Amino acid sequence: VFDDVAVEMALALLQFLSEKPTELLAWRGLKSLLRCCQLARTEVPPLVKMVGPSPSEFKGISARCDELVQLTEAILATV
């Protein structure tokens, strides 16, 4: 995946996650968002912080979502 594609996918994922999906879809969205953050470390994390929603809004949905939130927030903390 090229950096520009990761940015576009991240924007789409943020829009999707803002619609309060079910646990399964939230987990898939968070996992994909984490991967985009890992692929384009200089572009996607600042975008996530600026556009939102914050990954912390998904804490408490399930243990597996909490794990992804923690990993994503660790990347966002470096920005």
Token pair for 16: 């999707």
Whether 3 contacts 15, CB under 8 Å: no
Read off the pLDDT of residues 7-38 as tens digits, 9 standing for 90 and up. Answer: 999 999 999 999 989 999 999 999 999 999 99
Please give the span between the terminal C-alpha atoms of the chain, in angstroms, as a whole number.
Answer: 22
Q: Report pLDDT digits (tens) over 64-74.
A: 999 999 999 99
Residues in the chain: 79
- Say yes or no to pLDDT of 1 above 70: no
CA 41 to mean position of chain CA atoms: 12
Tokens of 79: 């920005």
Region 31-55: mean pLDDT is 93
What is the per-residue pLDDT for 3?
Answer: 72
- pLDDT for 4 equals 80
Give which of 68, 18, 78, 66 is closest to 42, Cα–Cα.
78
